[in-house]
Amino acid sequence: MFSEQATPTAQGLLAPPSAEASTFTRVPVSAYADCSQPFRLGERSFSRQYAHIYAARLIEMRPILEERARQKWGNSVALRKLCELRAGEKCCVVGTLFKAMQLQPSILQEISEEHNLVPQPPLPKYIHPSDELILEDELQRIKLEGAVEVQRLVTGTIFAVYGSEQDDGKFLVEDHCFADLPRPLPWNGPSSDRFVLLVSGLGLGSGSGESLLSTQLLVDVVTGQLGAEGEQSCAAQISRVILAGNLLSQNTQSRDTINKAKYLTKKTQAASVEAVKMLDEILLQLCTSVPVDVMPGEFDPTNYTLPQQPLHHCMLPLASAYSTLQLVTNPYQADVDGIRFLGTSGQNVSDIFKYSSMDDYLEILEWTLLAGHISPTAPDTLGCYPFYKSDPFILTDCPHVYFCGNAPRFQSKLLKGEHGQQVLLVTVPAFSTTQTACLINLRNLSCQPIIFSGFGTEDDDGDMEVGH
Amino acid sequence: MEDELYLENIDEFVTDQNRIVTYKWLSYTLGVHVNQAKQMLYDYVERKRKENSGAQLHVTYLVAGNLIQNGHICHKVAVVREDKLEAMKSKLATIASVHVYSIQKALLKDSGPLYNTDYDIVKTNLHNCSKFSAIHCAAAVPRTSAEVSQVQTSVQAGSQTPSDTNAVSVPVVNGHGPSTAKQTAQQPKGIMGMFAAKAASKPQDTNKETKAEAKEAPGVSAVSSKPPAKGNIMNNFFGKAAMNKLKVNSVLEQPKEEKEVVKPSVPVAEPESSPNPVVEKPGKKTESARIQQKDKKSKMKRVDKSDNEEERVPENLKKKRKRIKKLQSDSSDEEDVPPSPMPEEEKAPSPPPVPALKTELEPASTEVSAGGKKRKRKRVLKSKMFIDEEEDCMVTEKVYESESCTDSEDDFAKSKPPAAHKQPVLPLRKEPKEERKNLKKGAATANRANKQVSIMGFFQKK
């Protein structure tokens, strides 16, 4: 793993100064291609309804699902549309899932006067035993019951069900299937160790200095200032750093100007201004040494709806002077040294977490991959741009590394598909709380967390993770 | 010996200056490679301890290595105090590096000061922060200015939302691909130039022209957030509530620039049909368009304006002096109002602050030139009622009149409530006349520390 070969010279710097200090050259960028063009929005028109995105999604995924259905239930399985259903006939239907949830926040209910409702406080999960699943296709919808895990599934998933229509008008499901992993990409990985560092949730501007030293240590390790010579030479093999969202902390989102009286907030600056300046300095230090991709996240100054557009380079005047700085979209897809990376800043996974019984971020990540769609809950519960021609969140190629940022803890798993797909799933933890980043070795698709810490007043032996 | 020099230096830093000497700080200060700095620190510690075992010296170390945690092999990088060094080393399965992180006289309770030291030294050396690092990246070269402008235009083009192509008819409107309708390169350069200028923290006057065209909507849509008070002497006269452009050239620019900078996220829309967010009523749209045009004109003809101002100032001064003697307004005076200020007054009563700024110059300057007036003026909020001939209605306005009672004298500055009743442009002609009259009643008293700027200003100027 990282820096194992550094062990022999570990104590090398505990010595009087040597005449020559060695410098190492960073591994060159061999093959980088930004593939996130579908996520970039040019003109934006919000005059469309969101129905089009569902229609595009269904049209695009229907052939894939029909193919899977045939594979699973035999070539002779009857593929029917909802309008063609006959009671009692066993068939397979492909459609969009809709989950009717009682606790789902509804703006109409909130503002409706006849209900006199107090707006619901945000809950960690909105699932309820009384939730129901409904399958929709182009023309009709039908209630589902039977062998479907109602709690697990979320609105917006396209899947195929096998069963029959009952007399009461509901569809009894015997089996179902998803789109499964998309087709694999050829492997062009490097032959020697190359690392990519994934960090998310730097949380600058939070007002608490806990993770600041750890952030500095991170920058120093990557730029080769920290560590003995062995470690520095390993750090020189880090070919890229990807910052996966939430560079700014949630505290910078305070909207004092709206809540407080004007005379109180007249001369105050938005908290994000200072935080962005700090970010600029950190990025400058990184950019002078390694290519960096910066993805925006939930609390970053960019648009709210997915796909989030790159941060504007005018906010980062010092760092934008370097061509190693790349401001990219969320979600982000790129070929780094021949390995396809695909990931988000975590909004898709945390949204599914809220509306499904799945608790594990890694499990949700894997599920989205198997469902063939990065973010099925958009636009229902997650803000999304009203696409109409095509849905860019549908997975068409199987990435080699699939990550999500701002997870509660670090997890990784190597998923193998039936057609030779190999995907490394990584949940990148929020750095501001865990001081952990992820190092991915591109040669063998392995992942290692790297933890930083300082020392504090309550320094005890057991407490290793958190700085103070 | 030369080598001993660094020992003396470190000794001085630690003992005499009582600093926290981190390897990074030492590296930048002495201009040596980071690894050499680490070795220097180690050497110093060893020698000092050999000489004087009771030396008051506290050392922190950096330890890095592999650690088994939760089933993963984690790589841990930690800064530890000397007393915890062995404990940390024993926890790690393999040790990748150990070196001195910092030396200081006092015992550190937590690693906060270490961070501060490093932060300060890096901040002062931002331009060459990788100079003494152990890794060199060949790809990290600053962009050339040609590339920079290319990036700017491509970003600008890609992110523009042309208002004229709102309709879905535009081919790439699925949000994919950059827009085909591009602004002239001039405009993006102007906007981006402004942002770049801000980065350089020096607004350039050369950008004025392009800026003028480009930022109509944000500029004119009267921003309710006032720009921070400038260190502008004249500004002080009007107090904080006033957004004043006493000098048309610089001040007009500066607040606008500030606004721009303060709101970098405001999308720069085209002047013609941009839906001005502040102007809500449909009737005002045409006015705002006119305002924009006027603004444009005014900005473009800045030099002319200032000339005009100078000319007008003595005029008004004369007028004002006349009026002071008369004390109360005569209707005859209304007719005397020269046509030249009229065009300004035709400005729609869109949110006041912006227009108010420009015209305050006159009253201000007149007051300044008027100099030592003995009488005191007070501004009082009064309701004024008059008949609007155009609309054939009675119009009641709350107006700040500077009254001269026994102690104070009249001056007039009308402040209109933002929800001005006057939508159409035509009635404005009458309106400004009246207001003009009122304004001219006395010399401007606005030039006092606590006086508020009135909306009157905007009818006067231009």
Write out chain B in H/E/C secondary structure: CHHHHHHHHHHHHHHHCCCCEEHHHHHHHHCCCHHHHHHHHHHHHHHHHHHCCCCCCEEEEEEEEEEEECCEEEEEEEEEEHHHHHHHHHHCCEEEEEEEEEEECCCCCCCHHHHHHHHHHHHHCHHHCCCCCCEECCCCCECCHHHHHHHHHHHHHHHCCCHHHCCCCCCCCCCECCCCCCCCCHHHHHHHHHHHHHHCCCCCHHHHHHHHHHCHHHHHCCCCCCCCCCCCHHHHHHCCCCCCCCCHHHHHHHHHHHHHHHCCCCCCCCCCCCCCCCCCCHHHHHHHHHHHHHHHHHHHCHHHHHHHHHHHHHHHHHHHHHHHHHCCCCHHHHHHCCCCCHHHHCCCCCCCHHHHHHHHHHHHHHHHHHCCCCCEEEEEEEEEEEEECCCCEEEEEEEEEEECCCCEECEEECCCCCCCCCCCCHHHHHHHHHHHHHHCCCCCCCCCCCCCCCCHHHHHCC
CB-based contacts of B337, cutoff 8 Å, min separation 6: B433, B436, B437, B440
Which residue shows structure tokens 């608790």? Answer: A359
Kindly report the backbone phi and psi dihedral angles of residue A122, in degrees, each rounded to the nearest multiple of 5, phi listed first.
-65, 130
Name chain A contacts of B62, Cβ cutoff 8 Å.
226-227
pLDDT in tens, B323-345: 444 444 444 444 444 444 444 44
Which of A2, A14, A221 to mutate against chain B (most B CBs within 10 Å)? A14
Strand-strand pairing, B21-22 and B94-104? antiparallel
Q: To the nearest whole number, what is the mean pLDDT of chain B?
A: 59
Kindly report the backbone phi and psi dihedral angles of residue A25, in degrees, each rounded to the nearest multiple of 5, phi listed first.
-95, 140
Whether A41 and B176 lie within 8 Å, measured CB to CB: yes
- Give CA–CA dist A376/A374, Å, rounded: 6
Whether a cis peptide bond, with omega within 30° of 0, leads into A307 is yes
CA A58, distance to chain mean position in Å, is 23
pLDDT band at B185 (very low <50, low <70, confident <90, very high): very low
| From B32, B135, B178, residue closest to A235, measured CB to CB | B135
Name chain B contacts of A454, Cβ cutoff 8 Å.
78-79, 110-111, 114-115
Name chain A contacts of B35, Cβ cutoff 8 Å.
13, 18, 21-22, 228-229, 232
pLDDT higher than 80, residue B41: yes
pLDDT computed for residue A111 by the predictor: 74
- Give CA–CA dist A84/A72, Å, rounded: 22
Kindly report the backbone phi and psi dihedral angles of residue A3, in degrees, each rounded to the nearest multiple of 5, phi listed first.
65, 20
Residue B104 forms contact with A (CB below 8 Å): no
Which residue shows structure tokens 């008051």? Answer: B56
pLDDT in tens, B343-399: 444 444 444 444 444 444 444 444 444 444 455 667 777 787 877 776 677 777 787
What is the complex's ipTM, to 2 decimals? 0.85
Residue B206 forms contact with A (CB below 8 Å): no
Whether B97 and A13 lie within 8 Å, measured CB to CB: yes
- Give CA–CA dist A289/A304, Å, rounded: 31
- Give CA–CA dist B234/A35, Å, rounded: 55
Strand-strand pairing, B408-409 and B411-413? unpaired
Name the residue among A309, A295, A304 with its Cα closest to residue A379. A304
Pair B219, B258: CB distance under 8 Å: no
Whether A288 and B140 lie within 8 Å, measured CB to CB: yes
pLDDT band at B247 (very low <50, low <70, confident <90, very high): very low
Name the residue among A154, A132, A150 with its Cα closest to residue A141. A132
Name chain A contacts of B199, Cβ cutoff 8 Å.
314, 317
Pair B457, B356: CB distance under 8 Å: yes
- Give CA–CA dist A322/A327, Å, rounded: 12
pLDDT band at B305 (very low <50, low <70, confident <90, very high): very low
How many other β-carbons are positioned within 10 Å of the β-carbon of residue B363?
32
Residue B334 forms contact with A (CB below 8 Å): no
Which residue shows structure tokens 């935080």? Answer: A275
Q: Provide the shortest C-alpha distance from residue B380 to chain A (in Å).
A: 22
Q: Provide the shortest C-alpha distance from residue B181 to chain A (in Å).
A: 10
Whether B130 and A324 lie within 8 Å, measured CB to CB: no
Whether A26 and B137 lie within 8 Å, measured CB to CB: yes
Name chain B contacts of A213, Cβ cutoff 8 Å.
79, 111-112, 114-115
Whether A314 and B192 lie within 8 Å, measured CB to CB: yes
Token pair for B85: 């060094």
Pair A61, A156: CB distance under 8 Å: no
pLDDT computed for residue A192 by the predictor: 87
| From A2, A312, A321, residue closest to B75, measured CB to CB | A2
Q: How many residues does chain B have?
A: 462
Task: Give the N- to C-terminal CA distance of chain A in Å, as an integer.
Answer: 28
Pair B359, B344: CB distance under 8 Å: yes
- Give CA–CA dist A456/B79, Å, rounded: 10
Name chain A contacts of B164, Cβ cutoff 8 Å.
none
Whether B96 and A228 lie within 8 Å, measured CB to CB: yes
Pair B429, B416: CB distance under 8 Å: no
Name the residue among B303, B204, B293, B186 with its Cα closest to residue B257. B204
Whether B111 and A455 lie within 8 Å, measured CB to CB: yes
Whether B43 and A17 lie within 8 Å, measured CB to CB: yes
Q: Provide the shortest C-alpha distance from residue A344 to chain B (in Å).
A: 19
Whether A281 and B126 lie within 8 Å, measured CB to CB: yes
Whether B96 and A231 lie within 8 Å, measured CB to CB: yes
Q: Provide the shortest C-alpha distance from residue A410 to chain B (in Å).
A: 10
Residue B73 forms contact with A (CB below 8 Å): yes
| From B66, B97, B139, residue closest to A1, measured CB to CB | B66
Name the residue among B69, B226, B102, B200 with its Cα closest to residue B145. B200
Specify the range with the lowest mean pLDDT, choosing from A41-45, B66-70, B252-256: B252-256
Q: Provide the shortest C-alpha distance from residue B233 to chain A (in Å).
A: 19
| From B77, B99, B143, residue closest to A322, measured CB to CB | B143
pLDDT computed for residue A337 by the predictor: 87
Name the residue among A234, A201, A233, A410 with its Cα closest to residue B74. A410
pLDDT higher than 70, residue B438: no
pLDDT in tens, B12-40: 888 888 888 888 888 888 888 888 888 88
Pair A167, A186: CB distance under 8 Å: no
Q: Provide the shortest C-alpha distance from residue B93 to chain A (in Å).
A: 11
Strand-strand pairing, B58-69 and B94-104? antiparallel
Which residue shows structure tokens 């670090």? Answer: A410
- Give CA–CA dist A467/B110, Å, rounded: 9
pLDDT higher than 70, residue B234: no
Largest separation between any pair of C-alpha atoms in chain B: 100
Q: Provide the shortest C-alpha distance from residue A432 to chain B (in Å).
A: 15
Kindly report the backbone phi and psi dihedral angles of residue A443, in degrees, each rounded to the nearest multiple of 5, phi listed first.
-70, -45
Token pair for A14: 């505990």
Whether B97 and A47 lie within 8 Å, measured CB to CB: no
pLDDT computed for residue A15 by the predictor: 76
CB-based contacts of A288, cutoff 8 Å, min separation 6: A223, A322, A324, B129, B130, B137, B140
- Burial call A413-443: b when 16+ CB within 10 Å, e when fewer: eebebeeebbbbbbbbbbbbbbbbbbbbbbb
- Mapping DSSP onto H, E and C, the string for chain A reads CCCHHHHHHCCCCCCCCCCCCCCEECCCCCCEEECCHHHCECCCCCCCCCHHHHHHHHHHHHHHHHHHHHHHHCCCCCEECHHHCCECCCEEEEEEEEEECCCCCCHHHHHCCCCCCCCCCCCCCCCCCCCEEEEECCCCEEEEEECCCCCCCCCCCEEEEEEEECCCCCEEEEEEECCCCCEECCCCCCCCCCEEEEEECCCECCCCCCCHHHHHHHHHHHHCCCCCHHHHHHHCCEEEEEEECCCECHHHHCCHHHHCCHHHHCCCCCHHHHHHHHHHHHHHHHHCCCCEEEECCCCCCCCCCECECCCCHHHCCCHHHECCEEECCECEEEEECCEEEEEECCHHHHHHHHHCCCCCHHHHHHHHHHHCECCCCCCCCCCECCCCCCCCCECCEECCEEEEEEECCCEEEEEECCCCCEEEEEEEEEHHHHCEEEEEECCCCEEEEEEEECCCCCCCCCCCCCCC
Q: Provide the shortest C-alpha distance from residue B249 to chain A (in Å).
A: 24
Whether B98 and A13 lie within 8 Å, measured CB to CB: yes
Whether B196 and A314 lie within 8 Å, measured CB to CB: yes
Give chain A's residues under pLDDT 70. 1-6, 113-117, 256-257, 457-468
Whether a cis peptide bond, with omega within 30° of 0, leads into A186 is no
Name chain B contacts of A212, Cβ cutoff 8 Å.
115, 119
